[in-house]
A and B are shown apart, each in its own frame.
Chain A
Amino acid sequence: MQRNAVLEMVAQTDPGKVRSGNEDAVWTSIACGSVILADGMGGYNAGEVASHMATSVMGAQLEKAFAKRAGITTKSAALSLTNAAIKVGIAEANRAIFSLSKTQEQYAGMGTTIVAGVFQRSFLTVAHVGDSRLYRWRGKQLQQMTTDHSWLEEQIALGSLTREQAHLSRNKNLVTRAVGVDAQVSPEINVHETADGDVYLFCSDGLNDMLSDSKIALILSKCSENLDLCCSQLIQSSIDQGGRDNVSVILVRVIATAASAAPANDRFFLNGWRRFSTWFKSCRFVKE
């Protein structure tokens, strides 16, 4: 487990009970407040290659962006820098995987899903491609924050299927977007406000195919005080339920959003300015 003043993170990946290899890859950096999870696809070990390429290429990009962010003070500038870094990271991972799959026969057709999160101050920027997910655990409620890029979700959106009927479908395995299968990829990027105590769960479909949302919520409600245990409990439960796929979990707890943990002098300055401007206005030097 990694921990600093604002975040606590833990990651775990397991091949499961059936598969011999592990095509999932996880990457975390508490220093950059960033996590990446990828679920590869492709014959032999190509899926493994694709997912690891994705996490390392994108991870390097996020680290670079973090270094640049140090000098930035405004929220919008920091968020747009992160947004750009995520886009570049995914585009570069896409290019690297795509060109390898085009030039090396054994990697033909490989690709990977991805879900990545960057925590900064009281914001989480999340990007995803495919069916790897992000959930939020807040106030004893589990909420899915990403919508799978899958055939099933499209059918639900089109009204061909209800969410209940979707459980009866035999097509839980069709993703409509993936990194590295085309010359271009379009990630979905969203920004969410975080709150102290939030726990974010990034996972590959090996988790949510094996465990219902209520089962995931039960584990979080019982073990979220101990993130390490919570993570291994999630993995273990999905293996106990069959473990038919590789399963990966990254948990991130927001201990203190940077807003509430903001340097004291920051706030002092802000308060000082407010007082000064009120005084200024009260003196009627400026018209309101």
Chain B
Amino acid sequence: MSKLILSIDGALLKEIPLTKERITIGRKPHNDIQIDNLAISGEHAVIITVQGDSFLEDLNSTNGTFVNGQPIKKHFLQSGEVITLGKYSLKYINDVVPSMKNDDFERTMIFRPGTAAIASMAAMSTPTPMQSQVRFTDADTRLDGYPGNGQLAGSAAAVKVESIPASASIGPLGFSDQKMPSLPLGAIQILSGNNAGKELELTKSLTTLGKPKIQVAVIARRPQGYFITHVEGDTFPIINGISVGAQAQPLKDYDVIELAGIKMTFFLKH
């Protein structure tokens, strides 16, 4: 679950979990987070959270809302960013890590206005009771027209269970161009023809070899090792004197490959 850490002049005041879809910040008492200070507008800003994504919006406050020192109107919050209102700062922390245990993480679901809070609610155990200084007033929270948090909107909650226990190697872009530390780099050295002696490192995930329209094979770099597969042409690649057919064939250190009349050797760079 994501949270805000409220502090002033470096002194920690409060931790506020973002349990609601909409959390208002302002000087007036009806705000979810009330900061009773004249530099803060009555309704200063709002944070809208949809299943772990939080958006901060300035509500035309007099003194502005800043993120990492920059004034913002609407901002997609990233974990670690600091929101500043007057002398107060709110650090946004979102440490939800896809967990191996939670099968329901990242299941595809139907989204409709009003159903947004369902998954985050499901993930949460019990609502955290609020403490004194930061006042949460539940009564006003449904002015926005959203149904209450716990309310499941019936059939709208179609759920595609797509348990996705992410491994730690998934990068911030979601595409884990997985490093393969255990796999040494492979290379090809040409043994015959005009380019004899030339070496080609197999750094890409796919490398094609051969002559288009005559004979082409592709070498795939996979977590398990290197594999060669026939792509086009009437003849299949020959490995150590044996034709390998159309199937992918794992490559071992010092295998000799014959392709389009050229001999080459595969080896691992240790």
* Interface 9-mer from B34-42, B63-71, B155-163, B192-200: B155-163
Q: Which residues of A contact B76 (CB under 8 A)?
A: 160-161, 165, 168-169
* Interface 9-mer from A2-10, A25-33, A39-47, A73-81: A39-47
Q: In the bound complex, what is the Cα–Cα distance between A164 and B110 (angstroms)? A: 23
Chain A residue nearest to B48 (CB atoms) is A160
Q: Which residues of A contact B159 (CB under 8 A)?
A: 41-43, 109
Q: Which residues of B contact A198 (CB under 8 A)?
A: none
Q: In the bound complex, what is the Cα–Cα distance between A226 and B229 (angstroms)? A: 11
Residue total for A at the interface (Cβ-Cβ under 8 A) = 55
Q: Which residues of A contact B13 (CB under 8 A)?
A: none
The answer to whether A173 and B175 touch across the interface, beta carbons within 8 angstroms, is: no
Write the B200-218 contact mask toward A (1 if CB under 8 angstroms, else 0): 0000111110001000101
Confirm or deny: B12 has a beta carbon within 8 angstroms of a beta carbon on chain A.
no
Q: Which residues of A contact B164 (CB under 8 A)?
A: 18, 244-245
Q: Which residues of B contact A223 (CB under 8 A)?
A: 206, 208, 218, 231
The answer to whether A241 and B178 touch across the interface, beta carbons within 8 angstroms, is: yes
Q: In the bound complex, what is the Cα–Cα distance between A215 and B175 (angstroms)? A: 10
* Interface 9-mer from A52-60, A87-95, A135-143, A229-237: A229-237
Supposing A47-B161, A240-B223, A241-B176 touch, asked if A170 and B166 sit within 8 A by C-beta, the answer is no
Residue total for B at the interface (Cβ-Cβ under 8 A) = 53
Q: Which of B119-164 contact A (CB under 8 A)?
A: 155-164
The answer to whether B229 and A160 touch across the interface, beta carbons within 8 angstroms, is: no
Q: In the bound complex, what is the Cα–Cα distance between A170 and B105 (angstroms)? A: 10
Write the B150-194 contact mask toward A (1 if CB under 8 angstroms, else 0): 000001111111111111001011111110000000000000000
* Interface 9-mer from A115-123, A174-182, A253-261, A273-281: A174-182
Q: Which residues of B contact A109 (CB under 8 A)?
A: 155, 157-159
The answer to whether A131 and B206 touch across the interface, beta carbons within 8 angstroms, is: no
Return 22 A-B CB contacts under 8 Å, by A number. Answer: A41-B107, A41-B159, A109-B157, A168-B172, A170-B94, A171-B52, A173-B109, A175-B109, A182-B155, A209-B174, A212-B177, A215-B177, A219-B206, A222-B207, A223-B218, A223-B231, A233-B220, A236-B222, A242-B166, A244-B162, A244-B163, A245-B162
- A101-B155, A150-B111 given; 13 more Cβ-contact pairs under 8 Å: A18-B163, A41-B110, A41-B161, A43-B159, A170-B53, A174-B110, A218-B204, A222-B208, A223-B208, A233-B206, A237-B205, A242-B170, A244-B164
Considering the complex of A and B, which 6 residue pairs feature the smallest CB-CB distances, nearest first? A41-B160, A174-B111, A170-B52, A244-B164, A181-B158, A173-B108
Residues of A with Cβ closer than 8 Å to B?
18-19, 23, 39-43, 47, 101, 108-111, 131, 150-151, 160-161, 165, 167-176, 178, 180-182, 205, 209-212, 215, 218-219, 222-223, 225-226, 229, 233, 236-237, 240-242, 244-245
